Amino acid sequence: MAKTTKKSKSTAKLKLSKDKKLTGLSAGLAKYYKTDPVLVRLGVVALIILTGVIPGLIIYTALYSLVKNSSSS
């Protein structure tokens, strides 16, 4: 009989970071994806500018509320 081993699945949870400039969302995303927070912040600014400020801010606020809710549980 062959032995079967369970592979432990390590899943990182997306959380707001304490290394924050505004809300900690960009730093949290950078930590989750193992990249530089400055690059993520620049991407967020580009997203906000390219979508015409209001839609970008709505997307950012929605992501913030989703991550805030998931990190508090």
Q: Over the stretch 49-69, which tens digit does the pLDDT of each residue have?
A: 998 899 988 998 998 888 877
Enumerate the domain spans of the chain: 25-72
- Tell me, what's the pLDDT at 38? 92
- Tell me, what's the pLDDT at 28? 87
HSE value, Cβ hemisphere, 13 Å, CA-based, for 52: 1
Helices 25-32/37-50 angle, 10° precision: 120
Nearest CA among 68, 19, 58 for reference residue 40: 19
Is residue 14 within 8 Å of residue 67, measured between CB atoms? yes
Q: Backbone phi, then psi, for 18, in 5-degree steps?
A: -80, -20
pLDDT in tens, 22-39: 788 888 888 889 999 999
pLDDT in tens, 12-23: 677 777 777 778
Tokens encoding 23:
């809300």
Task: Report percent pLDDT > 70 for the chain.
Answer: 75
